[in-house]
Amino acid sequence: MDKIIADYIVRAGGAEIERIAREIAFEQTVEVPETLITSDTILENIVGQVVNIQPADNTASRFRVSIAFNAELANGQISQLLNLLFGNISIKNNIKLVDVTLPPSFVRRFRGPNFGINGVRQLCGVFDRPLLSTAIKPRGASHEAFARIAHDFALGGGDIVKDDHNLVDSDFEAFKSRVSRCQAAVQEANRTTGRNTLYFPYVLSPQDRLESYLDFVLSVGIRGVLLSPFLIGLDTVRTLAEAYPLVIMAHPTFTGTFFHDPDHGVAPGVLLGKLFRLIGCDISVFPNYGGRFSFTKEDCRIIQQHLQEPFGHLSPGLPAPAGGMRFENLAQMAEQYGPDAVFLIGGALLGDSDSLQASTEKFLDAITSLFPGHRHQNGNDSWQSACELPTFGTAEVLTHLPFQKDYSWAGRPASDYKSSQALPFQGVKRHELIGQHGERTRFDLRYFEIAPRGYSSLEKHIHTHAIICIRGKGELQINGEVIELKPFDIAYVPPLAVHQLRNHEQEPFGFFCIVDHDRDRPMKP
Amino acid sequence: MDKIIADYIVRAGGAEIERIAREIAFEQTVEVPETLITSDTILENIVGQVVNIQPADNTASRFRVSIAFNAELANGQISQLLNLLFGNISIKNNIKLVDVTLPPSFVRRFRGPNFGINGVRQLCGVFDRPLLSTAIKPRGASHEAFARIAHDFALGGGDIVKDDHNLVDSDFEAFKSRVSRCQAAVQEANRTTGRNTLYFPYVLSPQDRLESYLDFVLSVGIRGVLLSPFLIGLDTVRTLAEAYPLVIMAHPTFTGTFFHDPDHGVAPGVLLGKLFRLIGCDISVFPNYGGRFSFTKEDCRIIQQHLQEPFGHLSPGLPAPAGGMRFENLAQMAEQYGPDAVFLIGGALLGDSDSLQASTEKFLDAITSLFPGHRHQNGNDSWQSACELPTFGTAEVLTHLPFQKDYSWAGRPASDYKSSQALPFQGVKRHELIGQHGERTRFDLRYFEIAPRGYSSLEKHIHTHAIICIRGKGELQINGEVIELKPFDIAYVPPLAVHQLRNHEQEPFGFFCIVDHDRDRPMKP
């Protein structure tokens, strides 16, 4: 049986640590007290097994507890993994998840970063130094000001300019407008420099619109986005990363309560390193040590380690330390992170001089000088994404379908008239009005129109029809009888009645037809 | 400018509290130091305004800081609201978000609970006592054992039996099999008792399959689900609640790091009460005080307060305290929570006797005796919908219903106009055309006519309407919006949309209305 091994630091007295460790193992799996589990199968296969307890330091009050969980309990899902590792016990205290070891059978369910270090480097055309990134801000400035930041940073040779994660637009149109403008500004600068600076917009929309936003992003040639996994959900990020051939840069907003207490929560390396990589983040942004947040140098090192150490088939990702990074400590940063990192420098770059282009050049020169093996390439050579653009349907629930004078309804175009001689019907067109676009009806409302001398197929089926004539005149043949229909006449076609609708007039014959949504296929009589 | 007021308790010395308060206001909006913002417009419209600082207690080291944010910064989105209130500062320390006041312009963007207290009570048919709920567990037991718990609890008269949140299945087929079995078990017991016990399965699937799971849940007649907002994302819950006419019961797994530190995080009442209600949770599960988690009595009271106090147009929700609830403290629970709560009792109920039916009866008797005014009803009180006018005409299947010039159909006479002042509708008549006379449709086709100045009842229901205007003009009010309808305009009324049809013209307003044949009763909004 494959196991997931979770390592917790638990603060407790030595006399109670074994009991507490077992309580965690029960709470996270069966959620009932030990005494209520009498089945050996459940005890052996479902309840977590405490496999190791050892002092975490020399205080005698902190222990490292390793619990082995049956890997099947995580169901190959990141959401359920979070629940298994730290769901209910998040509401307890003095338990810190500090590491997790995932078996290959679990890791195989994930694709990991779409691009990874190499892929991102190829997109940028930069191979042997850290990438330089900045943020477009502040919210409230004009689109023009945003575009200028993007443009000038690109002109200075920066690698990735991303939106600040506070840049959320009033609606999709505003997003399109702002993002198009920034992307155009970067493209314009790229034409000047011959380089390939990337622009990553921040995407935060209503959950059911995220795909529309990403469709748009792809459509204007953007190669990556900034997402906030803890706002939109980790498995949402995974889903999007699998569906869209985009670089995913992850922002840590709203994650902090997992980290601030040294005795409770989840270690930053696990969340921002290992798990973000698992769900497909190519780049993980986190607060650099020494800045205005409280991550330690060691926290930062472990995040990078989790992003880059061997991890099944998953590509390694890039740490993007941010905050408190100044010109003066670039050497220190270079020593800490080495070349495979993204230096995300906001305020220090924007505030360094009046010219963002000049500041960017200055910082880039400094970074480059710290990595003398640097070779600079243009473009992304022969690399290609295996992913193709996904296709999405346009079905949409509409509350109002205004009638148009030509007997059509906005948003519900007709199928064409068909007239092939091979078909058993002639001159029929159909509008699917309600029921086939995601509406929660158990019936479908359609409008049919039969051209002069046209007819529907002679057929029968188990499902029924309700027909309401609204245009012209026509006839319903039903079980050999003929019913003339004029506007607002209604007809009911019972199960298995052999029927056909025909138009012998000079004008179109139009009618609503209501049928069960789930229905059998028509048969020849 | 509408404001969102966030109240934080900040631990800091009196000399630095003003600086820290301002830093929060900048960090959460423009994310740059104060000195870098030179634009007055941004300072006034974007940067948060510290509107109040006062001692939070008499320690001189904890202050209540109120910051007013421009409500537009939250963009009407829950994800962005979380970011605005506590995104980056989550990674700081000594800041606790303890309350938030949202302006009507923001709250209006949300629908809130689909059912609320009244709706859930109507589904259960229980009106004046707390609802009794239990959990199906433990993971690893057989589907037969799960179904038996569901069945016996229902037989004992329990109200809601939900899955444990560890019950995640290996795949969709396993989910279908398990859930169908539990639902069938509850339905069988309901046939015996004549009551209406509800079964809420836990839904946690890959993010892109959630809708398939919920489609299935609806298709087998289930009326609610258990979801974990912090695993799947709060805005995902909102999206699902808006798309599915289901009772949403929220589980607090993975939320705990917001709560455990009294000096940092978010107060439980804000997350599990106010925000869960905003995104559409009808029932919020949380750890009861005195159990194995660390919520205080006051925490629990405030969660309930946030679920039930007036909050724009949002229906109130039900607190579901869980954990540590025993037979002996039911009276204490009754005093704490009053009748409008769900008592979620797992271990104490399952462990009380060998017969879950007997234990359930015993607990229910005790709860009922604590609320002597209890009246047990099936369904709705005296409120009447215009859809419930008596049906006239022959109970005979007719194939042809010729239209008559006075907007009537042979064989299908109208119900009378009703005009009693006591009714919530006015001047409405109805023809049942197809579906109520023995036709084998799964939908009903009706023609309604509303006299000048008449209106239908303002109502909502799970079933949908398709409306086709054919006479005069009228308006459809739907979720506060007004749609004008003229002949052949079509409208779709989605599940639980609050709607009313009105005629302000001098002529009758007539329309076909198509509904599912099997449908729920309309509710007051």
User: What digits encode the pLDDT tens for the residues A471-506?
Assistant: 999 999 998 899 999 999 999 998 888 999 999 999
CB contact under 8 A, B442 and A440: no
Structure tokens belonging to residue B143 = 């589907």
Which of A25-34, A262-271, A295-304 has the weakest average pLDDT?
A25-34
Are A276 and A220 contained in the same domain?
Answer: yes
Which residues of A are less than 8 Å from B206 in CB distance?
77, 235, 238-239
CB contact under 8 A, B138 and A31: yes
Nearest residue of A to residue B406, measured between CA atoms: A488
Are A169 and A270 contained in the same domain?
Answer: yes
pLDDT of residue B106: 96
pLDDT of residue A399: 79
Q: Is the residue at B203 inside a domain?
A: yes
State the pairing for strand pair A400-401/A342-344. Answer: unpaired
3-class secondary-structure state, position A336: helix
Distance separating alpha carbons of residues B228 and B276, to the nearest angstrom:
10
pLDDT of residue B427: 87
Share the mean pLDDT of chain B: 91
CB contact under 8 A, B443 and A170: no
Are B354 and B399 contained in the same domain?
Answer: no
Are A305 and A181 contained in the same domain?
Answer: yes
Place of tokens 């995220």: A210
pLDDT of residue A378: 40
Share the mean pLDDT of chain A: 90
What does the pLDDT average to over B16-38?
92
Which has the higher per-residue pLDDT, B210 or B390?
Answer: B210
pLDDT of residue A385: 23
- Among partner residues A30, A347, A495, which is closest to B139 by beta-carbon distance? A30
Are A84 and A145 contained in the same domain?
Answer: no
Q: Is the residue at A134 inside a domain?
A: yes
Are A299 and A264 contained in the same domain?
Answer: yes
Q: A313 vs A77, A243, B478, CA distance in Å?
A: 17, 19, 51
Alpha helices in A14-156 (DSSP H): 17-27, 40-45, 78-86, 104-107, 116-124, 143-155
Which residues of A are less than 8 Å from B435 in CB distance?
466
Which has the higher per-residue pLDDT, B177 or A422?
Answer: B177
What does the pLDDT average to over A228-244?
95
Q: At what angle do helices B210-219 and B172-193 cross, to 10 degrees?
A: 30
Structure tokens belonging to residue B415 = 């119900």
pLDDT of residue A523: 79
Q: What is the tens place of the pLDDT at every residue in A34-76?
A: 888 889 999 999 999 999 999 999 999 999 999 999 999 999 9
Q: Is the residue at B474 inside a domain?
A: yes
pLDDT of residue B375: 52
- Helix or strand (DSSP H, E) at A349: helix A347-350
Q: What is the tens place of the pLDDT at every residue in A381-427?
A: 332 222 222 222 235 778 788 888 889 887 787 775 555 556 778 88
Q: Is B513 a catalytic residue?
A: yes
CATH number where A500 lies:
2.60.120.10
Q: What is the tens place of the pLDDT at every residue in B242-269?
A: 989 899 999 999 999 999 999 999 999 9
Half-sphere exposure in the Cβ direction for B110 (13 Å, CA): 32
CA-based nearest residue to B314, from B354, B346, B281: B281
Choose the catalytic residue: B182, B300, B469, B513: B513
Which residues of B are less than 8 Å from A513 in CB distance?
none
Are B145 and B266 contained in the same domain?
Answer: yes
CATH number where A70 lies:
3.30.70.150
pLDDT of residue A470: 95
Widest CA span in chain A: 97
The whole model's pTM is what? 0.81
CATH number where A221 lies:
3.20.20.110
Which residues of B are less than 8 Å from A91 in CB distance?
252, 255-256, 259-260, 287, 293-295
Cβ density class B198-235: b for 16+ within 10 Å, e for less: bbbbbbbbbbebbbebbebbbeeebbbbbbbbbbbbbb
Name the A residues in 285-304 with CB < 8 Å from any B CB: 287, 292-295
Nearest residue of B to residue A462, measured between CA atoms: B440
A445 CB near a chain B CB, below 8 Å?
yes
Distance separating alpha carbons of residues B126 and B120, to the nearest angstrom:
9
CB contact under 8 A, A75 and B164: no
Q: What is the tens place of the pLDDT at every residue in B318-332?
A: 999 998 789 999 999
Are A149 and A46 contained in the same domain?
Answer: no
CB contact under 8 A, A403 and B434: no
Q: Is the residue at B364 inside a domain?
A: yes
Percent of chain B scoring above 90 in pLDDT: 73
Q: Is the residue at A136 inside a domain?
A: yes
The answer to whether A156 and A360 have CB atoms below 8 angstroms apart is yes
CB contact under 8 A, A399 and B491: yes
pLDDT of residue B389: 59
The answer to whether A491 and A517 have CB atoms below 8 angstroms apart is no
Are A423 and A362 contained in the same domain?
Answer: no
pLDDT of residue A485: 94
Are B173 and B64 contained in the same domain?
Answer: no
Q: Could you check whether the bond before residue B138 is cis, i.e. omega within 30 degrees of 0?
A: yes
Are A65 and A86 contained in the same domain?
Answer: yes
Are B84 and B131 contained in the same domain?
Answer: no
CB contact under 8 A, A440 and B238: no
Measured CA angle at A422 (ends A417, A423), to 5 deg? 45
Q: How confident is the model at residue B219 (pLDDT cuts 50, 70, 90)?
A: confident
Place of tokens 């002529």: B507
- Helix or strand (DSSP H, E) at B217: helix B210-219
- Among partner residues B42, B231, B464, which is closest to A82 by beta-carbon distance? B231
CB contact under 8 A, B442 and A439: no
Q: What is the tens place of the pLDDT at every residue in B121-135?
A: 989 999 889 999 999
Which residues of A are less than 8 Å from B221 in CB distance?
none
Nearest residue of B to residue A81, measured between CA atoms: B231
Q: What is the 3-state secondary structure (H, E, C) of A19-47?
A: HHHHHHHHHCCCCCCHHHCCCHHHHHHCC
pLDDT higher than threshold 50 for residue B378: no
Q: Is the residue at A385 inside a domain?
A: no
* Domain end residue (candidates: B45, B73, B107): B107
pLDDT higher than threshold 90 for residue A265: yes
DSSP state of A288: P
CB contact under 8 A, B29 and A139: yes
B228 CB near a chain A CB, below 8 Å?
yes
pLDDT higher than threshold 70 for residue B467: yes
Q: Is the residue at B43 inside a domain?
A: yes
Left (φ > 0), alpha (ψ -120 to 50) or beta: where does B435 sit? left
- Among partner residues B86, B164, B228, which is closest to A31 by beta-carbon distance? B164
* Domain end residue (candidates: B341, B369, B397): B369
Tally the domains of chain B.
3
Choose the catalytic residue: A124, A182, A281, A513: A513
Which residues of B are less than 8 Å from A241 in CB distance?
none
Nearest residue of B to residue A438, measured between CA atoms: B243
- Among partner residues A137, A205, A207, which is closest to B30 by beta-carbon distance? A137
Q: Is the residue at A387 inside a domain?
A: no
The residue range of the domain holding B470 is 386-516
A169 CB near a chain B CB, below 8 Å?
yes
A410 CB near a chain B CB, below 8 Å?
no
Which has the higher per-residue pLDDT, B440 or B75?
Answer: B75
Q: What is the tens place of the pLDDT at every residue in A321-331?
A: 998 789 999 99
* Domain end residue (candidates: A56, A89, A107): A107
